[in-house]
Amino acid sequence: MTVAPGMSSPSSTNPLAVVLLSGGMDSCVSAAVARVTCRLALLHVSYGQRTQTRELRSFREIADHYGAEHRLETRLEHLGAIGGSALTDASRDAVSARRSGSTIPDTYVPFRNTHLLAMAVSWAEVIGARHIYIGAVQEDGSGYPDCRQEYYDAFNRLLRAGTRPETLIDVVTPLIHMSKGQIVREGLRLGAPFHLTWSCYTEQETACGRCESCLLRRKGFREAGAADPLPYRPT
């Protein structure tokens, strides 16, 4: 297990946290934040997204990097079957990703985070986790409705109503009000393994550099004054 400079490994007495880890930059930094005070249980969900093979590779490498105490790889095939997103439908444009009559990009997967969080809550109840971390970003993200603070406030109310009385779990969104530059700086401070992450919506070897996820990532590294370790196609 790699330990960031100046940081010790989490104590065995620290609470256990389930971290939804896609393999992207934001979820990786969220795991790095959780690791400061919690033991890690890392959860990856494949749901038919274009780059699911590459994302799963990143998940496994990041989990190895942190020596995660628990890890779980799952699938939600129904999200791909339902469709409605450029991330799960290769016939749609995932680069410009504009949807007629809506301010929400076509890369939005309908109600996805609710499905992911429901799975995380179920696993957290079984393994005795105290927190669920998710790398949602509202302030400098894509504008997805399930990445807003009010959504997570509502979900935490649902969580309290829908779990056993003795269950004490909350959803934590450590990055939700950060800019992309702040996220990169926080990741660098915590020694997050950015070189293991993958953000591109369309490619699995060399990032396209043009989709919204690539543009936001590059913006973050530029604002932080740091070099992005991912390879990009020439533009």
Contact status, residue 10 vs residue 37, Cβ threshold 8 Å:
yes
What are the CB-based long-range contacts (under 8 Å, 24+) for 8-13?
Answer: 10/35, 10/36, 10/37, 10/38, 10/39, 10/40, 12/39
Domain boundaries, the chain: 16-224
Is 48's pLDDT higher than 90? yes
d(CA 96, CA 152): 28
Confidence of residue 76 (pLDDT cuts 50, 70, 90): very high
Is 30's pLDDT higher than 60? yes
Residues 50, 52, 53, 54: is their CA dihedral positive or negative?
positive
Exposed, middle or buried: residue 121 (CB in 10 Å: 0-12, 13-18, 19+)? buried
Residue 215 CA: distances (Å) to CA of 124, 182, 211: 33, 15, 6
Q: What is the pLDDT of residues 77-115, one digit of tens each?
A: 999 999 999 999 999 999 998 877 889 999 999 999 999
Contact status, residue 217 vs residue 31, Cβ threshold 8 Å:
no
Task: Identify the CATH homologous superfamily for domain 16-224.
Answer: HUPs (3.40.50.620)
pTM (two decimals): 0.93
Q: What is the pLDDT of residues 165-217, one digit of tens each?
A: 999 999 999 999 999 999 999 999 999 999 999 999 999 999 999 999 999 99
Residues 204, 207, 211, 213: is their CA dihedral positive or negative?
positive
Please state the φ and ψ torsions of residue 77, each to the nearest 5 degrees.
-60, -30
* Mean pLDDT in residue range 131-137: 98
Confidence of residue 10 (pLDDT cuts 50, 70, 90): low
* pLDDT score for 141: 82
Nearest residue to 218 via CA among 228, 231, 206: 228
d(CA 197, CA 194): 5
Residues 47, 53, 54, 55: is their CA dihedral positive or negative?
positive
* Mean pLDDT in residue range 141-166: 95
* Residues of the chain above pLDDT 90, percent: 89
Is 138's pLDDT higher than 90? yes
Is 11's pLDDT higher than 90? no
* pLDDT score for 139: 85
Average pLDDT score, the chain: 94
d(CA 52, CA 23): 10
DSSP state of 67: T
Nearest residue to 129 via CA among 190, 208, 69, 204: 69
Is 5's pLDDT higher than 90? no
* pLDDT score for 40: 98
